[in-house]
Amino acid sequence: MATALALALSLGSVAFAQTKPNRYTTTGVAVSVTPEMTGAGAVSSGVTLPKPPPVTGSRANPVAHWGKPLPYPIVIADRRNNRLIEVTPDKRIVWEFASPDLKVYRGNEDVNFSADGRQLAVSEEDNFDLHLVDYENKAITWTYGIPDHRGSGPNLLNYPDDAHLLADGKVITADIRNCRILVIDPKTQEIATQFGTTGKCEHKPPQLLAYPNGATPLENGDLLFTEISGSWISRVTRDGVVKWSVRAPNVRYPSDAFPTVDGKQVIVADFSKPGRVVIFDPATGKATWEYFVKEGEGMLDHSSIARELPHTGDILVVDDLNDRVIVIDRQTRQIIWQYGEKNKKGHTPGLLNYPDGVDLDVFRDWKAAAK
């Protein structure tokens, strides 16, 4: 999820849906690294970690769930701690990937499991790169982008967000400030498909995109695009057919839209203060559920991810600038689970530092392993 963007950029353009980038030598534009971007440095919780259980589940057939308040462990992209951390529903840290090198790996802001649960796709907006991380070996296996260099040429990105490893082995990301969504082939390091035209930031999918910050794959292979400007959410096929395009209701700055568990509606967080979570029906464009608290403990501060939880229907939210990840009860709209303390940054157990992404570990039976 991006921080606030300057929406007036001037970049060179290339054709929509190009299959190969132009081949020219470039190193991009060097970016000064600020203390905020470096965050807490290369830190670890210090916890002695157990051996992970084997992968026995999948998204279609997940392992046994834990029930309320959180049905599965979660992997959190703890952005300013420069680490990934897995936390169980009973708040134990069971897995952690601390930055091996701050030059290469810093500011991880979104994290998503691969279809087989063995890899994690990580985007780093202000490090201008993407990574694949091997869960079991805790190793970076692939990188696209040049750290500390922004651009639009080969192997260059400008605020990449929301990386996913697709079922066909390609990686998709929303390259926000280049106003494009890229599908990259890790085998060739080339762009296989591009949605949007580089540097032309308007809403006319799939030819033009207005600062996209989400590109969520759906079960049938379609993609859910989120555009910041205009709060547009669009469902697009891999070959560029737009099935629908709707403005997210009551949302100022949409962040990384996801489908609801039944696939019929869309859930999206509003990256604002106070933040908001909205579930809406794309057939009508109308909200069917909202969470919005103007002040106090329940107020969200730049919430970047909201997902409906399987089995319970409750809502998992990454509450970025409150330094916490929470679960909101669908019926009562009360916070019923929280990891991290509001406005208290840290990297020791129970604390986070600007968490910015999350995914559910439905692949490993940590509940049985704990016994």
Q: What is the pLDDT of residues 334-357, one digit of tens each?
A: 999 999 999 999 999 999 999 999
pLDDT band at 370 (very low <50, low <70, confident <90, very high): confident
For the stretch 128-148, pLDDT in tens is 999 999 999 999 999 999 999
Helices and strands counted in the chain (H then E): 2, 26
**Residue 15 above 80 pLDDT?**
no
**Per-residue pLDDT, 20:** 36
**Residue 22 above 80 pLDDT?**
no
Pairing status of strand 232-236 against strand 286-292: unpaired
**Per-residue pLDDT, 153:** 93
Q: What percent of the chain has pLDDT over 90?
A: 92
Which sign, positive or negative, has the C-alpha torsion 254, 255, 257, 260? negative
CA distance 151 to 146: 9
CA distance from start to end of the chain: 36
46, with CB counted inside 10 A (0-12, 13-18, 19+), is exposed
CA distance 116 to 167: 9
263's tokens: 């696939």
**Are the C-beta atoms of 9 and 191 separated by less than 8 Å?**
no
Amino acid at 131: H
Amino acid at 29: V
Helix (H, G, I), strand (E, B) or coil at 366: helix
**Residue 193 above 90 pLDDT?**
yes
For the segment 51-65, the average pLDDT, to the nearest whole number, is 97
pLDDT band at 10 (very low <50, low <70, confident <90, very high): very low
pLDDT band at 6 (very low <50, low <70, confident <90, very high): very low
User: Which residues have CB under 8 Å from 272's CB, separation 6+?
Assistant: 252, 253, 302
**Per-residue pLDDT, 371:** 77
Phi, psi of 79 (to 5 degrees): -55, -55
CA distance 249 to 355: 25
Amino acid at 162: D
Complete DSSP assignment for 64-90: PP--SS-SS-EEEEEGGGTEEEEE-TT
For the segment 32-40, the average pLDDT, to the nearest whole number, is 96
For the segment 140-168, the average pLDDT, to the nearest whole number, is 97
**Are the C-beta atoms of 109 and 83 separated by less than 8 Å?**
no
**Per-residue pLDDT, 24:** 34
For the segment 16-31, the average pLDDT, to the nearest whole number, is 54
Q: Kindly report the average pLDDT of the chain as a whole number.
A: 93
pLDDT band at 26 (very low <50, low <70, confident <90, very high): low
196's tokens: 């949007």
Please, what is the Cα angle at 345 between 106 and 134, to 5 degrees?
A: 35
The upper half-sphere exposure of residue 118, i.e. CA atoms within 13 Å in the direction of its Cβ, equals 8
Q: Which of 121, 138, 115 is nearest to 59 (CA)?
A: 115
